[in-house]
Structure 1
Amino acid sequence: MVRLRCPFPECNCAIVELDESREASLPTGISEKLRLMLPSKHATSDGLFTVFEDIWDFDNIGVSRAISEGSVDIFDKRDAEKVMFTWRGNSYVLSKLQKYLICADCDRGPLGVVCEVRSSKNSDETLTLNMLSLRSVKQAEK
């Protein structure tokens, strides 16, 4: 069993068990646009996330305060295809960054995001997803 953990050696908090059925691939470079923590300044983002509908599905995760409108400008409707992804057989577009996911023990991050997404088929259908970047955490055997 593989656990996703806080990447900081002095912390190493267990965040959640890796579940490949929850993975979603967002466009490359999205981590930089979302200002997510990467392992080094030379790391590239592959756009892989593990996605949860309910924040309580995590074993241990913290959440930042609400993010002010316009502080992260990637949700321009003209560039919707740049933030489109498929998860569990449905296509979504990121529409609003709400909060950041951080380590519950050391408060460092951001390791992921809480986003409002809309269905690419029905733009009136929205959903809030908790998306943990697999590049921002470390994977370790239990």
Structure 2
Amino acid sequence: MTFKSKNEIAPELLTSSTSSIILRCPFPSCHARIIAYSATATPSVDIDHAPLCASIESYHSQKSDPKLSSSTTAFYSIGDVWDFDNIGVSKPSEVLPDPIVVGANGHEDESEKVDVERLLICSECDRGPLGFAGIAIGEDKTHLNLKYFLSQNSVLYDVGN
């Protein structure tokens, strides 16, 4: 297995349809499979003022636990909790008092406001947060309407499996 942080991945690997990348838990004693990465099925979104998430600067120079970071703005949008191979979701809570704006990269007209309701953790080691889940403003407040956002800096990239 070749683990890398987001900063250590060549950009062309993330846009290639032939790359085989598995996103894994960043915690040293775990590395559980979180989700298979796909350039087409795992769209990237920019989110300002997101909840704190675990962050890895460099896997090779930082073998310790990831640190919480408020500077995380790049997320993968996951449509359904069942798309994950391994994820834990917290109980509903008021993670942030105000909704956040979720915008697709380069598509301002596709942005929406989301109430953050839950945090994402690794279900193997129960550590995180690796991202969050929320419901778009105007949608019914039911778990069926949750949208999932996985921080691009909170996972390890397992290249070549």
Is it true that 1:117 corresponds to 2:136 in the alignment? yes
Q: Which residue of structure 2 lines up, in the alignment, with residue 129 of structure 1?
A: 147
* Identity of matched residues, %: 30
| Residue in structure 2 matched with residue 139 of structure 1 by the alignment | 157
Distance 1:46 1:102, change over 3 A: closer
Number of aligned residues = 125
Q: Does 1:38 align with 2:58?
A: no
**Equivalent runs, 1:1-142 vs 2, <5 Å:** 1-21=20-40, 22-28=42-48, 30=49, 33-39=50-56, 41=67, 45=71, 47-68=73-94, 71-75=95-99, 83-86=101-104, 91-118=110-137, 124=138, 127-141=145-159, 142=161
What's the Cα RMSD here? 2.6
- AA at the equivalent of 1:38: S
Whether the aligned pair in 2 keeps the contact of 1:63 and 1:100 (CA below 8 Å) is yes
SS of alignment partner, residue 8 of structure 1: coil
TM-score by length of 1: 0.73
Question: What is aligned with 2:12?
Answer: none
For structure 1, the residue ranges without an aligned partner over 5 or more in a row are 119-123
Matched position secondary structure for 1:26: strand
Task: Report how far residue 42 of structure 1 moved.
Answer: 9.1
TM-score, normalised relative to structure 2: 0.66
